[in-house]
A and B are shown apart, each in its own frame.
Chain A
């Protein structure tokens, strides 16, 4: 058995290496970028394609993904109407559109942001030493093989920098459109770097949509939030049904900064979110909430690492999954409290609602604590609708189907309504909750 795993993964690894050769020939990245690409490829070769025995991928079956012969997209065209349809109300003049991972200025409009926000390409931004060293460091210490593939193939990426003491009122939307491949599966590698300078504020909405099928979106987002700054990050995954979606979010929090993360997952063939946060100076706060509604064969996997590196930081996590038909959801979250990180407060809650016998829900909420004066808790549940609640609604004259619909919808709604951006809430009420309607 072990030999077959080794064989198939060897195949997948050499396919990536071959693809990378072609990528270097056709794209000819700048020397600075090329060095990063090469470093990342080296890291990829070290990490290797995961299999089920891999601790980080216990619940994620990457078999189909590893064997798919991915290519890179060269030309992609997209209708302006399609983009407009996916731009949220309020973001008409503050959105960036990435088509197959590449920023398309003609489909973007950032005029509402003013001069306080610098939007440029990462290829330019790495001339700044601090940006370059951070990228380099994260590539070298990469623990996620898919993120290292992203770094190996990144071409330009976007850099968003909010200047000191600027509270940006207009919400900024990043729209990731994947057009898919007609002849075979295509991989795209969106890369975003967000830097909030001290005392600044930004509301960032990242949406993933697909115009075609047969694609693998492999996204990485690095975020640095400096002293007293606040980043609100809303991520909506609404890819095509047979897409693979892997995204990694890395956030570094400085003194008294805040990160408020919200993730809504519509599900696809295979969705995996990897969120990693470092609370590296006292007073930092991290909030991460997520909801996913999965039907048919959809899959969604959450992998979370929160590092409490110093004292006096707080983190909250709350995730809810609704699983119907043969869908699968998993949650693998670890809170690490380092030595000396006293007065840490951390909690983590995962609720799974199982609506069918064929579905799967797996949880692994871990705590690793190396300090004694801390308050850490986690809870995980898997269950079905409460019979008492169903009975109550039925005594009020509601049919069983309607009663179930109300209860399942309100289960998801408890997270959705927390999202601090009305157009997303409205949209999710239409899309996610629609999946839960009776019949």
Chain B
């Protein structure tokens, strides 16, 4: 019995494949955070006045706040003065074609399997490749511009479309929302901005690849997506990071706004370095605030995430269902192995009438990892006929792993209907035996079972991502004893 368990856990061991560092000279600030640093970031970015005020307000709030201690994760205290708050590759001038991009950067993307040019032509995906805080290449911009879609780094948008940023930035995640969101609001360097004008269906899926580069540089991304009336966009986010020995903090903020009848589909595949599998040392801390507001009637926000990396994940993509008849969805697969810790889930705040939400969460924990689902469904008095369905399933692999479920349900009217169910199970020896008996290797059997377990979530992903996500899980399950 024990040896069988070992083989299952070995199946989940996997060296991080993308553990290499690109040597690009960075323009990096000295470590530490004070008001001067906040002003310097704003100045360096040549930001309008309102943005500086926004940052300063956030910084003031941040000073009064404490780090949250309620998540079910353990890590040594973070020294926020030991982080450099600004770093960018020297390459800054605008580029007309990909040929002008530093070949080393392109080479990095190549290794990550993001051949920009190929994707450009074949996959019909516009890629805003964020290379360590500053976007260096944006493709397909023109094609998007033709239909009026704005897709650019947020630093650019601050200069080109300040009125849009001023109207929406901080409306979904206020500057003082939580400790990490306040920090991000004060020091964020770049990120993506997307605006879909009314009555527009985005002609392609919009995608950004993130990559943390310079050692000990916290990355503070800020994403803002606005989808105007009767519009639709599908946004893809994927991450990989190089291997380092000191912890890297990533505190991003993502804000989504949908107006009447609009829909945003936001998909993430995350595979950051999770630390040494033996000791758990050196992985990335992923403390992210993601929130969408269904502001308009009958609007919809759908979050899909596949979390397979990071030493610690602290992430609750949420929906504020304000417009009548709006819909929120959350589909998640979180795989933890080694010494990873994940505390992830969602919040569905029902405010408008006839609002609906569904939550499907699949957690897989292996080795010494800990995987928690934490979700809130709150139905206000005004949210008549609200409907929620929640399903969170956990799968445990190995007797040293743990799985936790912390759902919060708060309701205040009589016309609502809420269902929540959770279950915990393991890959049974009978299932594996059945596969092996049919000549399918143990490794493939585990991969197939896990993929089946996650099917409900994978089928929500856009095609390219679904393939990538399945590959990722299988990759994690490689090295299986056949």
Q: Which positions in A face B, CB cutoff 8 Å? A: 55, 58-59, 339-340, 342, 352, 354-384
Determine whether B431 belongs to the interface, using a CB cutoff of 8 Å to chain A. no
| B409 A384 Cβ-Cβ under 8 A | no
Interface centre among A340, A364, A366, A377 (most CB of B within 10 A): A366
Given A374-B424, A378-B422, A383-B418, are A369 and B404 neighbors across the interface (CB < 8 Å)? yes
Q: How far is the CA of A365 from the CA of B392 in the complex (A)?
A: 12
Beta-carbon contacts under 8 Å, B379-426 to A:
379, 381, 384, 394, 396-426
| B422 A382 Cβ-Cβ under 8 A | no
| B424 A362 Cβ-Cβ under 8 A | no
In the assembled complex, which residues on chain A have CB atoms less than 8 Å from the CB atom of B75? none
In the assembled complex, which residues on chain B have CB atoms less than 8 Å from the CB atom of A340? 399
Which single member of A342, A355, A361, A379 contacts B420 (CB below 8 Å)?
A379
Which single member of B5, B404, B416 contacts A383 (CB below 8 Å)?
B416
Q: How far is the CA of A379 from the CA of B407 in the complex (A)?
A: 10
| Count of CB-CB pairs between chains A and B under 8 Å | 119
Within the complex, the shortest CB–CB distance from A373 to chain B, in Å, comes to: 6
| A372 B410 Cβ-Cβ under 8 A | no
Which single member of A55, A342, A376, A381 contacts B423 (CB below 8 Å)?
A376
| A354 B424 Cβ-Cβ under 8 A | no
Please give me the residue from chain B that is nearest to A365 by CB atom. B407
| B406 A372 Cβ-Cβ under 8 A | no
| A372 B396 Cβ-Cβ under 8 A | yes
Q: How far is the CA of A299 from the CA of B473 in the complex (A)?
A: 47
| A367 B404 Cβ-Cβ under 8 A | yes
What are 5 inter-chain pairs, A to B, with CB distance below 8 A?
A372-B397, A379-B420, A381-B417, A382-B409, A383-B417
Please give me the residue from chain B that is nearest to A385 by CB atom. B414
13 further interface pairs, Cβ-Cβ under 8 Å (given A372-B5, A384-B417):
A58-B408, A354-B413, A357-B415, A362-B411, A364-B408, A367-B424, A372-B397, A379-B420, A380-B409, A382-B379, A382-B418, A383-B416, A383-B417
Which single member of A58, A368, A373 contacts B402 (CB below 8 Å)?
A368
| A371 B394 Cβ-Cβ under 8 A | no
Which 3 pairs between the two chains have the least Cβ-Cβ distance? Answer: A372-B396, A363-B409, A354-B414
| B420 A384 Cβ-Cβ under 8 A | no
In the assembled complex, which residues on chain B have CB atoms less than 8 Å from the CB atom of A371? 396, 399
Please give me the residue from chain A that is nearest to B410 by CB atom. A362
| A352 B414 Cβ-Cβ under 8 A | no
| A372 B426 Cβ-Cβ under 8 A | yes
Within the complex, the shortest CB–CB distance from A329 to chain B, in Å, comes to: 10
Given A357-B413, A360-B412, A383-B418, are A369 and B396 neighbors across the interface (CB < 8 Å)? yes
Q: How far is the CA of A340 from the CA of B419 in the complex (A)?
A: 31
Within the complex, the shortest CB–CB distance from B26 to chain A, in Å, comes to: 42
Q: Which positions in B face A, CB cutoff 8 Å? A: 5, 70, 379, 381, 384, 394, 396-426
Q: How far is the CA of A339 from the CA of B398 in the complex (A)?
A: 11
Which single member of B381, B401, B408, B425 contacts A375 (CB below 8 Å)?
B425
In the assembled complex, which residues on chain B have CB atoms less than 8 Å from the CB atom of A362? 408-411
Within the complex, the shortest CB–CB distance from A197 to chain B, in Å, comes to: 34
| A366 B406 Cβ-Cβ under 8 A | yes
Q: How far is the CA of A372 from the CA of B420 in the complex (A)?
A: 22
| A366 B407 Cβ-Cβ under 8 A | yes
Q: How far is the CA of A206 from the CA of B352 in the complex (A)?
A: 45
Within the complex, the shortest CB–CB distance from A339 to chain B, in Å, comes to: 7
Q: How far is the CA of A373 from the CA of B8 in the complex (A)?
A: 13
Please give me the residue from chain A that is nearest to B423 by CB atom. A377
Q: How far is the CA of A347 from the CA of B213 in the complex (A)?
A: 46
Given A368-B404, A378-B422, are A55 and B70 neighbors across the interface (CB < 8 Å)? yes
| A377 B394 Cβ-Cβ under 8 A | no
Within the complex, the shortest CB–CB distance from B378 to chain A, in Å, comes to: 9
Please give me the residue from chain B that is nearest to A361 by CB atom. B411
| B405 A354 Cβ-Cβ under 8 A | no
| A372 B414 Cβ-Cβ under 8 A | no
Interface centre among A362, A364, A367 (most CB of B within 10 A): A367
In the assembled complex, which residues on chain B have CB atoms less than 8 Å from the CB atom of A376? 423-424
In the assembled complex, which residues on chain A have CB atoms less than 8 Å from the CB atom of B400? 339
Please give me the residue from chain A that is nearest to B414 by CB atom. A354
In the assembled complex, which residues on chain B have CB atoms less than 8 Å from the CB atom of A370? 402
Please give me the residue from chain A that is nearest to B405 by CB atom. A367
Within the complex, the shortest CB–CB distance from A402 to chain B, in Å, comes to: 19
In the assembled complex, which residues on chain B have CB atoms less than 8 Å from the CB atom of A367? 394, 403-405, 422, 424
| A381 B420 Cβ-Cβ under 8 A | yes
| A363 B420 Cβ-Cβ under 8 A | yes
Q: How far is the CA of A383 from the CA of B409 in the complex (A)?
A: 12
Q: How far is the CA of A434 from the CA of B418 in the complex (A)?
A: 27
| B402 A381 Cβ-Cβ under 8 A | no
| A382 B416 Cβ-Cβ under 8 A | yes
| A365 B420 Cβ-Cβ under 8 A | yes
Q: How far is the CA of A376 from the CA of B405 in the complex (A)?
A: 11
Within the complex, the shortest CB–CB distance from A51 to chain B, in Å, comes to: 15
Which single member of B70, B402, B406, B422 contacts A364 (CB below 8 Å)?
B406
Which single member of B396, B414, B419, B422 contacts A357 (CB below 8 Å)?
B414
Please give me the residue from chain A that is nearest to B398 by CB atom. A372
Please give me the residue from chain A that is nearest to B399 by CB atom. A372
In the assembled complex, which residues on chain B have CB atoms less than 8 Å from the CB atom of A375? 424-425
Given A342-B399, A372-B399, A375-B425, are A380 and B407 neighbors across the interface (CB < 8 Å)? yes
| B405 A378 Cβ-Cβ under 8 A | yes
Q: How far is the CA of A89 from the CA of B280 in the complex (A)?
A: 63
In the assembled complex, which residues on chain A have CB atoms less than 8 Å from the CB atom of B406? 364, 366
| A369 B402 Cβ-Cβ under 8 A | yes
Q: How far is the CA of A374 from the CA of B412 in the complex (A)?
A: 35
In the assembled complex, which residues on chain A have CB atoms less than 8 Å from the CB atom of B399? 339-340, 342, 371-373
Please give me the residue from chain B that is nearest to A347 by CB atom. B423
Q: How far is the CA of A241 from the CA of B408 in the complex (A)?
A: 29
Given A364-B408, A364-B409, A373-B399, are A380 and B420 neighbors across the interface (CB < 8 Å)? yes
| B421 A384 Cβ-Cβ under 8 A | no
Q: How far is the CA of A388 from the CA of B412 in the complex (A)?
A: 23
Within the complex, the shortest CB–CB distance from B420 to chain A, in Å, comes to: 4
| A379 B422 Cβ-Cβ under 8 A | yes
| A366 B417 Cβ-Cβ under 8 A | no
| A360 B411 Cβ-Cβ under 8 A | yes
Which single member of A59, A361, A377 contacts B422 (CB below 8 Å)?
A377
Please give me the residue from chain A that is nearest to B409 by CB atom. A363
Please give me the residue from chain B that is nearest to A359 by CB atom. B414
Please give me the residue from chain B that is nearest to A357 by CB atom. B413
In the assembled complex, which residues on chain B have CB atoms less than 8 Å from the CB atom of A379? 419-422
Please give me the residue from chain A that is nearest to B416 by CB atom. A382
In the assembled complex, which residues on chain B have CB atoms less than 8 Å from the CB atom of A361? 409, 411
In the assembled complex, which residues on chain B have CB atoms less than 8 Å from the CB atom of A352? 411
Q: How far is the CA of A380 from the CA of B392 in the complex (A)?
A: 12
Please give me the residue from chain B that is nearest to A381 by CB atom. B419
Q: How far is the CA of A366 from the CA of B408 in the complex (A)?
A: 9
Q: How far is the CA of A39 from the CA of B163 in the complex (A)?
A: 63
